[in-house]
Amino acid sequence: MVAVIICGVTGGELIRVLVVDDHRMVREGLRSYLGMVDDIEMVGDASDGRSALDWLARAKAQRALPDVVLMDLLMEPMGGLEATAAIKRRYPEVEVVAVTSFIDEDKVHAALEAGAAGYLLKDAEADEVAAAVRAAQRGEVHLDPAVARQLTASLRRGPSADPAALLTAREREILVLVAQGKANKEIAGELVISERTARTHVSNILAKLGLSSRTQAALWAVREGLAPPPG
């Protein structure tokens, strides 16, 4: 399974990536693919969560931390969920994107609660992987469309079929701020909550509405009359 760490892009710099997966062929496949993407650079790989933490410790000592991790969830001896939580505790500036071969609602929620900035399936198209990497670097949440659809379907099994009715009052408040173009850090400051809490709320909003990006959420909020159109 896979974990990729990607550093932020500023002033034309490459997004730097570390791949963590317990299958060498997966790591090599990602190395080949990422080598063809202009704005992304794979800077290393690891075979499990513990190895990824060791890699990050060395990178920290060299002041060369990346920004994002694409993290496979099922690895030994340390799995992706435990590694994600540890990375966010030790290196909050590093983002994590969970990658797995199946949709498990409990695992999706657990990954997001641990601090992951996205959730991808291993059969995702190459451009979907790149989109998730770039979204994480921007501090946004990216859900695989199949994951978002399944989560939404499960949430709608209740008595209400109205997507807006699935949102809590706090989630509606945050959705309005997303529609205003505010980043997680700005939302956290305005609502006096942590940036991680803001990001978790955004990920829950996307899951409930069956959306895969903040842009889609903003357009949905305008269309449904929850937020005024921009400008």
Q: For the chain, list the domains and their CATH numbers.
A: 5-139 (3.40.50.2300), 149-223 (1.10.10.10)
107: its two tokens? 């695992």
Distance (Å, whole) CA 105 – CA 184: 24
| Interior angle at CA 202, CA 52 and CA 133, nearest 5 | 40
Residue 34, classed as helix, strand or coil, is: helix
Q: What is the share, in percent, of the chain residues with pLDDT greater than 70?
A: 88
Distance (Å, whole) CA 88 – CA 183: 19
Tell me which H or E stretch contains 39: none
pLDDT digits (tens, 9 = 90+) for 196-213: 888 888 888 888 887 877
pLDDT digits (tens, 9 = 90+) for 125-137: 878 888 889 988 8
CA atoms within 13 A on the CB side of 109: 9
Length of the chain: 231
Distance (Å, whole) CA 142 – CA 28: 24
12: its two tokens? 């034309």
**221 within 8 A of 227, measured Cβ to Cβ:** yes
> What confidence category does residue 20 fall into, taking pLDDT thresholds of 50, 70 and 90?
very high
pTM above 0.85, yes or no: no
pLDDT digits (tens, 9 = 90+) for 150-208: 766 665 555 445 667 778 889 999 999 998 888 888 999 999 998 888 888 888 888 88
**96 within 8 A of 121, measured Cβ to Cβ:** no
Nearest to 167 by CA among 159, 149, 155: 155
